[in-house]
Amino acid sequence: MPLVSEPLRALGFLTIGLFDPADPRRGHESTLQIIELGERLGFDSAWVRHRHLQYGISSPVAVLAAATQRTSRIGLGTAVIPLGWENPLRLAEDLATVDLLSGGRLNPGVSVGPPMHYDQVKDALYPDTAEAEDFSHRRVQRLLDLVRGEAATGFSGTEGFEAFSDRVQPQAPGLGSRMWYGGASLQSARWAGEHGMNFLTSSVVKAEESEDFAAIQLSHVRAFRARHRDGERARVSQGLVVIPTDNASPRQRAKYEAFVRERTPRTAVPHGPARLLFAPDLVGSSALIAEQLHAHAAFREIDEVAFALPFTFDHDDYVQILTDIATVLGPALGWHPAAA
């Protein structure tokens, strides 16, 4: 008998949007079709991950701008945009523009820290300022201030025939309350709470106090809410790789199980100087996965999820997985699809 958790209120999914470098349009089109399918199935949100100098979505804001014109209801998020690659003022303009195009459905998730492989990319990314760039939480604060309408300059008014604003334009009402922070540590969880953001728990965490993934993720949820003005009502979305097999073909089941077997050894112990610990992937029937989730310490304290799609699967695999999540697993967790 599974342990009792609160009914799942919001169900989302995350995709990396891989593509063949010989035909990148096809991969991007597949991602947009998956988002459209998610809306038809009643998912509450679709999220895209950010990849630079790889064969995945490098410009999620542009992809989501396209998605705004092909959907009408589903929330559209980024999980996450690494701000080390971004100018906060320019990003604030792009986010506000896409949010307006979506009718207020954008959920931007961000993180901080130096760009991956910074020593190899800094000359191309910041040729004149590489050593002066600030990759701390102050970079997030700049973005938050600009999105929330703080002044960007001391100048406004008319110059000749042109009108100028001292704030980022356009302004998107409500966007500031839909900003998410993707964190893997207690420090990140506390900072996000103190600054009134929503919190994306990561499927990769720092093993700071324990080597039990669920216990670590739970500590992040509680630390975030303890510092947030909304307390227990502060929004947290849990991220895990979930692969239901209810309507998978025998070939797909074998493929999924092999994928999980290959990745499982990395979940046993923390890795590297940062002691990064990976969440186990969940594969099997929806009944089995629901039982595992109901017993998961962090899942028992949240009512929103964004289940991650495996990175290397085919389009038809994603269709089957999303359909099973929406029609079998979601209802087993107490979730009801959104109305069309």
Instruction: Give the Cβ contact number of residue 331 at 10 Å.
Output: 16
Assigned domain for 29 exists: yes
The pLDDT > 90 percentage for the chain reads 96
> Which structure tokens are listed for 182?
């993707």
Tokens of 245: 């097999």
The CATH number of residue 303's host domain is 3.20.20.30
Range of the domain at 313: 10-153+160-332
| Nearest-angstrom CA–CA distance, 298 and 306 | 14
Q: Which of 72, 33, 11, 7 is nearest to 337 (CA)?
A: 11
Tokens at residue 37, please? Answer: 């399918």
pLDDT of residue 6: 79
Beta strands in 86-150 (DSSP E): 106-111
- When the pLDDT of each residue in the chain is averaged and rounded to a whole number, the result is 96
pLDDT confidence of residue 101: 98
Q: Is residue 204 part of a domain?
A: yes
Examine residue 141 and state whether it is found in any structural domain, yes or no.
yes
- Distance separating alpha carbons of residues 16 and 36, to the nearest angstrom: 16
pLDDT in tens, the chain (340 residues): 334 567 999 999 999 999 999 999 999 999 999 999 999 999 999 999 999 999 999 999 999 999 999 999 999 999 999 999 999 999 999 999 999 999 999 999 999 999 999 999 999 999 999 999 999 999 999 999 999 999 999 999 999 999 999 999 999 999 999 999 999 999 999 999 999 999 999 899 999 989 999 999 999 999 999 999 999 999 999 999 999 999 999 999 999 999 999 999 999 999 999 999 999 999 999 999 999 999 999 999 999 999 999 989 999 999 999 999 999 999 999 999 988 6
What confidence score (pLDDT) does residue 209 get?
87
Confirm whether 146 is domain-assigned.
yes
**4 part of a folded domain:** no
5 within a domain of the structure (yes/no): no
Question: Number of structural domains, the chain?
Answer: 1
Instruction: Give the pairing of strands 10-15 and 45-48.
Output: parallel
d(CA 217, CA 200) in angstroms, rounded, equals 10
> What was the pLDDT predicted at 4?
56
Q: What is the DSSP letter of 328?
A: I
Q: 339 lies in a domain?
A: no
The answer to the question of residue 285 being in a domain is yes
pLDDT tens-digit readout, 240-279 = 999 999 999 999 999 999 999 999 999 999 999 999 999 9
- CB–CB of 333/293 below 8 Å? yes
